[in-house]
Amino acid sequence: MKVTIVGGGPGGYVAAIRAAQLGAEVSLIEKGKLGGVCLNEGCIPTKALLHAASLYAEVREGARLGVMAEVRLDFAKTQEYKAGVVKRLVNGVSGLLAASKVKVIQGEASFAPGGRLTVQGANGTTDAAFDKLILAAGSVPALPPIPGMGIPQCIDSSGALALASVPASMLIIGGGVIGMEMASLYNALGSRIVVAEMLPDILPMLDGDITRTLRTSLAGKGVEILTQARVMEVKDQGTEALALLEVGGERKEFKVEKILVAAGRCPNTASLNLDAAGLAHERGRIRVNERMETNLPGVYAIGDCNGQIMLAHAASAQGEIAAENALGHSARFHPGTNPSCVYTSPECAGVGLTEEQAKTQGLDYITGTFPLSANGKSLIMNGGKGMIKIIAGRRHKEILGAHLIGPRATDLVAEAALAVGMEATIDEIIGTIHAHPTVAEAFREAALAVDKRAIHTLNK
């Protein structure tokens, strides 16, 4: 069985390795670098810079812990560190593919009339034969139709990760994951940050209690967050840009050194020429079912290019599912256990239903909240900022959703995802002994709080 994969990001390379494990002859077509946007210009470099920024901020604030130090930022060295992490992981992916005997083809894939798959490479155009095809083309930044967007001060997320120096000021268009992580990053490095979000709130995928806590925390650090804010125009003014905004019917002006456009992403399928193959799509989002199958037999689409959940871990999960189904198995994608993670300071994460969603669906639910100010490890790590919140069904007390903000929230959400996937009840969490002192024990306390029996905080 010959399986061909288009795209070497976290969906594509995982699909390639899984298909090889199942005995397929696998070819992977990649026009850029292995690892895709996530590894080269997204998840990994962002988190590397965020780690450096967090360390920088902690050392600057070390006096409250009795750690006295003179500290300065060498941003060029920080960028070198980031590049080293990326290089090591890219080499790791390359090594895994080679060990799995996956043939990597450098070039750009596209459908030709009649549905043939062609590859434009350094030596011209060739046909790519396959028995089964997995499309993992990824996504590209969305560019909002704002007059002046072409000025040199405007950058996208890739540009924000490649800056040679820390800008004195930055306007971020978009209060989603990318926008808020960049706000946290450059605020910690010393930039004056303004976030402009069109919706009523930032990070709409998270529970409202979590976003309110994050907004308060970032505001305390000097980040200005404007919601229901529309950027009307941007203008080049030499070393700065002038941004004209409308916020709640009032016009505001901001002069900043950089404008980061973080208004979401869209599938990177334009060059694939989907219509030539007869692939069903909606404005470039390839339609798939829960088995990752498209409308064409033997053709699958995973990750950002199907537009379902634009997260690297979702793409990887879908990659395994597509590979298994291509090789005769029967696997299905279950998005209910997919966690959302935001690597701000403090970190945010959530899985399952938010309280707003439970309310909209008319579910009979109860909640339990535990403040991290009552958790010893959190108090040590970040002064106790944050909380853990659990939403459970009132009758059976099964966990419908869990939401976290605080130290290591993006790691701790794995327990919550497992609980949601297993339809665990709060009693099963309570019956599991959690180590002390850890942030994780706060999850058990939140489960206790659902029953109004938390030990280390007052039950309301």
Q: Where are the alpha helices (DSSP H) in 291-374?
A: 312-326, 355-360
Q: Report d(CA 449, CA 452) in Å as an integer.
A: 4
Tell whether the model's pLDDT for residue 276 goes beyond 90: yes
Q: Count up the domains in the chain and report the number.
A: 3
Query: Catalytic: 313?
Result: no
In this structure, of 6-10, 398-402, 456-460, the range with the lowest mean pLDDT score is 456-460
Q: Answer yes or no: is 458 within a domain.
A: no
**384, 373 Cβ separation under 8 angstroms:** yes
Co-location of 213 and 234 in the same domain: yes
**With 90 as the cut, is the pLDDT of residue 163 above it?**
yes
What's the mean pLDDT in 406-427?
98
| Tokens at 169, concatenated | 């000021």
CATH code of the domain in which 17 resides: 3.50.50.60
Q: How far apart are CA 188 and CA 113, in angstroms?
A: 52
Q: Which of 3, 22, 11 is nearest to 132 (CA)?
A: 3
My answer on whether 113 and 124 are in the same domain is yes
Beta bridge partners of 155: 260
Per-residue model confidence as pLDDT tens digits over 379-391: 999 999 999 999 9
Q: Does one domain contain both 234 and 320?
A: no
User: Do residues 257 and 271 both lie within one domain?
Assistant: no
CA distance 80 to 426: 46
In the set 329, 334, 396, 436, the catalytic residue is 436
Distances (CA, A) of 360 to 64, 243, 308, 392: 44, 36, 21, 15
Q: What is the pLDDT of residue 115?
A: 83
What's the chain's Rg over C-alpha atoms? 23
Least trusted range by pLDDT, from 110-119, 172-181, 357-366: 110-119
Residues 195 and 109 in one domain: no
Query: pLDDT digit string (tens) for 287-346?
Result: 999 999 999 999 999 999 999 999 999 999 999 999 999 999 999 999 999 999 999 999
pLDDT at 186 over 90: yes
**Is 107 in contact with 32 (CB distance < 8 Å)?**
no
Contacts 24+ apart (CB under 8 A), 97-102: 97/13, 97/16, 97/17, 97/28, 97/34, 100/16, 100/17, 100/20, 100/21, 100/26, 101/20, 101/26, 102/16, 102/17, 102/20, 102/26, 102/27, 102/28
- pLDDT score of 78 more than 90: yes
Which pTM was predicted? Answer: 0.96
- Average model confidence (pLDDT) for the chain? 96
372 domain residue, yes or no:
yes
Q: Region 86-114: what's the mean pLDDT? A: 96
Query: Do 373 and 435 have their domain in common?
Result: yes
Q: What are phi and psi of 210, to 5 degrees?
A: -70, -45
Mean pLDDT of 210-237: 97
Instruction: Specify if 147 maps to a domain.
Output: no
Q: In angstroms, rounded to a whole number, what is the distance separating the alpha carbons of residues 325 and 59?
A: 50
**Which pLDDT does position 63 carry in this prediction?**
87
pLDDT attached to residue 114? 83
Same domain, 274 and 395: no
Q: Would you place residue 14 in the very low, low, confident or very high pLDDT band (cuts 50, 70, 90)?
A: very high
Q: Are residues 117 and 176 in the same domain?
A: no
CATH number of the domain encompassing residue 388: 3.30.390.30
- Indicate the pLDDT class of residue 122, thresholds 50, 70 and 90: confident
Same domain assignment for residues 136 and 277: yes
Q: Per the domain annotation, does 148 fall within a domain? A: no
Same domain, 252 and 388: no
Amino acid in position 291? R
Domain that holds residue 398: 346-450
Judged against a pLDDT cut of 90, whether residue 358 lies above it is answered with: yes
pLDDT tens digits for range 187-208: 999 999 999 999 999 999 999 9
**Claim to verify: residue 251 and residue 277 sit in the same structural domain:** no
Q: Establish if 460 belongs to a structural domain.
A: no
**Angstrom distance (rounded) from CA 167 to CA 188:** 12
Q: Categorize the per-residue pLDDT at 62 as very low, low, confident or very high, splitting at 50, 70 and 90.
A: confident
Residue 123: its pLDDT value, please? 87
Say if residue 241 is in the same domain as residue 279: no
